Amino acid sequence: MLAAAVPRPLLKGEIHVWRLDLAGGCPADLERVVSDGDLVRAGRFAFDRDRIRFLRAKYGLRRLLAAYVGVAPLELAIALNSHGKPHLDPALGLGFNLSHAGDYGLVAIGRTARIGVDIEELPAPRDVRALATALFTAGEVQSLLSLDASRLAEAFLTCWTRKEAYLKALGVGLSVAPCTVHVGTAPRRCRFPIAGGRPDEFVEVTSLAQADGCVAALAVEGGAAEPEIFDFDWEISPETRESRSLPARAGSRKRLGRP
């Protein structure tokens, strides 16, 4: 079995968020970790840089999940729901979600299947006003447009990542129109009802502390303790030492501050 840096058991109500540095080479043991299906998908990228980022994201994800479950990475069966959300066998009691943007990847892992994460790189698109009008609720547009112009771009991505994380937690992704879901523009921890769900069901959305020019958010059904953030350790397996650009803070653990 291949090892990975899992700091300690993940308890119910806890969330671990792993940062993946996608700016490196292909790990030498890639084919012992990444599924054939993902190797085929990788082959469809036009540019090497995008292919390698994709493969590193899948490599990190599988190494992590395998370590939490206690099996070899290729023994993991990852299935997709009808909207493409990957998930493990529910009997394992482990939920996860992946997001990537440029050189940055995030994997959120918890004891619920309804977990979503989203990361976006700054700068935001230039036409944030028009995009917000198309993608946000009337209340979100109003609060966004009341901001000073210098804060618009970041506030746009704050709202957008919260929305995507919420929709990814529910597993529906952008099959649900983002303008129908209110998550607010402020980077606060807030609870939102689940459309069609029981009155006591909710998804808790929180913005994650910004790092490296990114904006990110996490959504978890039923809420969770303050998430903990870790950096994926690319050096844990000796075979991966050929990778370029290894993260300096490999294996370190941080409290995820909320902005």
Ligand X SMILES: CC(C)(COP(=O)(O)OP(=O)(O)OC[C@H]1O[C@@H](n2cnc3c(N)ncnc32)[C@H](O)[C@@H]1OP(=O)(O)O)[C@@H](O)C(=O)NCCC(=O)NCCS
- Residue with structure tokens 């993902």? 38
* 98 counts as binding ligand X under rule CB under 6 A: yes
List strands edge to edge, sheet with 15-21.
Answer: 95-101, 104-110, 15-21, 228-231, 253-255
* 168 counts as binding ligand X under rule CB under 6 A: yes
* 177 counts as binding ligand X under rule CB under 6 A: no
Q: How many CB atoms lie within 10 A of CB 81?
A: 12
Q: Which stretch binds ligand X (CB under 6 A): 14-22, 27-35, 45-53, 168-176?
A: 168-176
| Under 8 Å between Cβ of 178 and 135 | yes
d(CA 109, CA 99) in angstroms, rounded, equals 12
Q: Which stretch binds ligand X (CB under 6 A): 98-106, 122-130, 136-144, 219-227?
A: 98-106
Q: Which stretch binds ligand X (CB under 6 A): 43-51, 173-181, 185-193, 196-204?
A: 173-181
Site string for ligand X, 49-88 (x = CB under 6 A): --------x-------------------------xxxx--
Nearer to ligand X, 118 or 231 (CB): 118
Q: What is the dihedral of CA 154, 171, 22, 25, to 10 degrees?
A: -160
Q: Among 1, 39, 79, 174, which residue sits at the site for ligand X (rule: CB under 6 A)?
A: 174
Structure letter (DSSP) for residue 175: G
Assign residue 152 a region (left: φ > 0; alpha: ψ between -120 and 50; beta: otherwise).
alpha
In the complex, minimum distance from the CB of residue 154 to ligand X, in angstroms, rounded to a whole number:
17
Nearer to ligand X, 109 or 172 (CB): 172
